[in-house]
Amino acid sequence: MKQQVFYGKGMPIVKKENPELYDAIVGLNDAVFNGKVLDYKTQKLIAIAITAASGDKRGTFRQMYSGMDHLGITYDEIMDALNMVLLTAGMPPFVKAVRTLDKVKKEMESDKKENK
Amino acid sequence: MKQQVFYGKGMPIVKKENPELYDAIVGLNDAVFNGKVLDYKTQKLIAIAITAASGDKRGTFRQMYSGMDHLGITYDEIMDALNMVLLTAGMPPFVKAVRTLDKVKKEMESDKKENK
Amino acid sequence: MKQQVFYGKGMPIVKKENPELYDAIVGLNDAVFNGKVLDYKTQKLIAIAITAASGDKRGTFRQMYSGMDHLGITYDEIMDALNMVLLTAGMPPFVKAVRTLDKVKKEMESDKKENK
Amino acid sequence: MKQQVFYGKGMPIVKKENPELYDAIVGLNDAVFNGKVLDYKTQKLIAIAITAASGDKRGTFRQMYSGMDHLGITYDEIMDALNMVLLTAGMPPFVKAVRTLDKVKKEMESDKKENK
Amino acid sequence: MKQQVFYGKGMPIVKKENPELYDAIVGLNDAVFNGKVLDYKTQKLIAIAITAASGDKRGTFRQMYSGMDHLGITYDEIMDALNMVLLTAGMPPFVKAVRTLDKVKKEMESDKKENK
Amino acid sequence: MKQQVFYGKGMPIVKKENPELYDAIVGLNDAVFNGKVLDYKTQKLIAIAITAASGDKRGTFRQMYSGMDHLGITYDEIMDALNMVLLTAGMPPFVKAVRTLDKVKKEMESDKKENK
């Protein structure tokens, strides 16, 4: 599991404070993403959409970034997924997520320039 | 839009009470499902997952049923999608959704027998 | 406070188990509904809409019933309030609330016939 | 629809990326605010309250600002509406919304000074 | 893990459909309840309160029942925990949870009579 | 009630704008924390966990800080409580709360140095 990627600064704290819980989370993460029929990318898109629907800006940012950066999920794919957020969770989380997606796009472009 | 399918008994009431709002909802529904890159089935899976994450049993049932019955979404695909509910929304909505999926499966089998 | 009306069977249990908490709830209820500028009816409509947005079917039923029965809130007023649920919380809680409103209407008509 | 006002930076992105979805959202927005019996102001107050109950700070700020600035909703009216947030969604979103309302008030005063 | 006890009919389905995920959930469950300083009972009380705050009636019922039946959590302890639900999540989930607690109490008494 | 401690800048505004509501909130706060069997510390831990499960970063920070600073709740006790957030509300609010707890710890250490 690339938890630094997916969950950010919280996971190293868990690893230090409670290694057994950390291992269990890694185990769960591996199991849930080991889908029978859906590929990793589609599952990740679903995770992005659920997090966006909950209105969690930072979690959504991180999931979008890792999905685009590591799994090759595209801007348009996330946008299509956010349409479902609009339908099932209303305007406020949708608009927030669209804005977050835009920030992710800009930060990725900026990060790539720096790494050249 | 097959809103009877997707939203059940509420939509005919809206159609009768407020035809303009009904038309606007149909318009929105068409627009959100008209994805640039994701197909209808994937978008529907995402809608199912968000609804399941919110813990809405009846809405989840209806979306699962219509997704399986009309779009050919499979039991295993939904199960893989529900894994994301477990990860991002915790055990209670996940377990509830697994049970709901089981009920959908049984009701579909029962409906098919009756229609023979 | 007519908490039997507003909150149903839970409140008598609180009254019996913890009279001090019960009194504090009555005090809070009186204070929140004692608006400076909004009238009771408008505040109640807002409470109905928030509860509907949360997807709580039973709580919504109860609040709609008491609002219509005791405060003279009309079916159309609630329907207009539910439009905001659609916009800010999405289709599933909206459709659920429309259906709930319909049930309230039918139960009120049925209750009135019985009481003649 | 004055979506810049209501939804901020997200809507221009939607307009650019998906004009059909944008039009559908405008259509929905017009339809939901075209209440049969409730006026625009009351509907807006309800939308503010639902958004505040969901704990969405930025969305609440924006809705309060546009409601006060464009529709003449007063500080006291919003405060009375927030009482319902306390009752139906608890202390944390209530206190957060009270603080947000205070910020809106201060920003409006500051904006007016600048525009003199 | 006594997942039949804690999560009901959903878990056997997971076990059958996806044994690896099932094992990961058992591992996570063991890890989260293996607190450094809080005992099992206190952790369970916290889980009951979070579930009650989310308004999930069935999940709350099941958690209350297993907590009282297997861990010796008392009616009064849960009632004190529900006070926090009132404060942090508002009246509707609080009243719903009080009613649920009452049902659990009655069902436990009824189950005990039958088992004599 | 030490509401400045528990609820921050919002409460003085309520006190100024609506003293009766303020008194009712103080009354409710006193009543809910006056548990029959659970001590203040355990109830506070439960309130922290519910707030963390809702994803409210600032509210969680404030409750953690006051719980640690005034009631002597320890870092490890909160960590054990957060395990329940993971189980019942999923990874995103759990990771967010772990990070928030870390910030509280650091701010408390920093505050203590300054006060020496």
Joined together, the tokens standing for residue E24 give 């990961």
Residue B1 binned pLDDT confidence (cut-offs 50, 70, 90): very low
Residue E41 binned pLDDT confidence (cut-offs 50, 70, 90): very high
On whether any CB of chain D is under 8 Å from the CB of B31, the answer is: yes
Which residues of chain C neighbour D38 with C-beta distances below 8 Å?
Answer: 45, 77, 80-81
On whether any CB of chain A is under 8 Å from the CB of F37, the answer is: no
Q: What is the pLDDT of residue C102?
A: 97
Give tens-digit pLDDT for F66-107: 999 999 999 999 999 999 999 999 999 999 999 999 999 999
Instruction: Please name which of F95, F111, E45 lies closest in space to residue A17, comparing C-alpha atoms.
Output: F95
On whether any CB of chain B is under 8 Å from the CB of C74, the answer is: no
3-state secondary structure chain F: CCHHHHHCCHHHHHHHHCHHHHHHHHHHHHHHHCCCCCCHHHHHHHHHHHHHHCCCHHHHHHHHHHHHHHHCCCHHHHHHHHHHHHHHHCHHHHHHHHHHHHHHHHHHHHHHHHHC
Q: Where is average pLDDT lowest: B83-87, D37-41, F6-10, F88-92?
A: F6-10
C partners (3+ CB pairs within 8 A) are A, B, D, E, F
Q: What is the pLDDT of residue C14?
A: 96
- First-residue to last-residue Cα distance in chain B: 27
Q: In whole angstroms, what is the distance from residue E3 CA to residue E6 CA? A: 5
**Averaged pLDDT, C47-70:** 96
Which residues of chain F neighbour C18 with C-beta distances below 8 Å?
Answer: 31, 36
Residue C7 binned pLDDT confidence (cut-offs 50, 70, 90): low
Q: Which of E20, E26, E43, E54 to mutate to test the interface with A (most CBs of A within 10 A)?
A: E20
D53 vs C31, C43, C53: nearest CB = C53
On whether any CB of chain B is under 8 Å from the CB of F49, the answer is: no
Residue C2 binned pLDDT confidence (cut-offs 50, 70, 90): very low
Rounded to 5 degrees, what are φ and ψ at F17? Answer: -80, -35
On whether any CB of chain C is under 8 Å from the CB of E102, the answer is: yes
On whether any CB of chain D is under 8 Å from the CB of A92, the answer is: yes
Q: What is the pLDDT of residue F6?
A: 54
Contact E41, F38 (CB under 8 A): no
On whether any CB of chain F is under 8 Å from the CB of C24, the answer is: yes
C50 vs D43, D50, D76: nearest CB = D50
Which residues of chain F neighbour A8 with C-beta distances below 8 Å?
Answer: 95, 99
On whether any CB of chain B is under 8 Å from the CB of D37, the answer is: no
**Averaged pLDDT, E7-11:** 81
C-alpha distance from D38 to closest chain A C-alpha (Å): 21
Q: Which residues of chain D have pLDDT under 70?
A: 1-7
Q: What is the pLDDT of residue A74?
A: 98
**Averaged pLDDT, C65-92:** 97
The answer to whether residue A2 scores a pLDDT higher than 70 is: no
% of chain B surpassing 90 pLDDT:
86
State yes or no: ipTM above 0.85: yes
Which residues of chain B neighbour D27 with C-beta distances below 8 Å?
Answer: 23-24, 27-28
User: Which residue's entry shows tokens 């997606």?
Assistant: A101
Task: Confirm whether pTM is higher than 0.90.
Answer: yes
Residue of C nearest to D39 (CA): C80
Q: What is the pLDDT of residue C4?
A: 43
**Averaged pLDDT, E85-100:** 97
Give tens-digit pLDDT for F29-75: 999 999 999 999 999 999 999 999 999 999 999 999 999 999 999 99
Q: What is the pLDDT of residue C114?
A: 84
Q: What is the pLDDT of residue D112?
A: 86
User: Which residue's entry shows tokens 């009186």?
Assistant: C30
For B37-116, CATH gives 1.20.1290.10
Residue A91 binned pLDDT confidence (cut-offs 50, 70, 90): very high
- In eight-state DSSP terms, residue C9 is T
Give tens-digit pLDDT for B8-31: 788 999 999 999 999 999 999 999
CB pair distance less than 8 Å for E90 and D87:
yes
Residue of C nearest to B8 (CA): C95
Residue of C nearest to E94 (CA): C10
CB pair distance less than 8 Å for C80 and D50:
no
Q: What is the pLDDT of residue D22?
A: 96
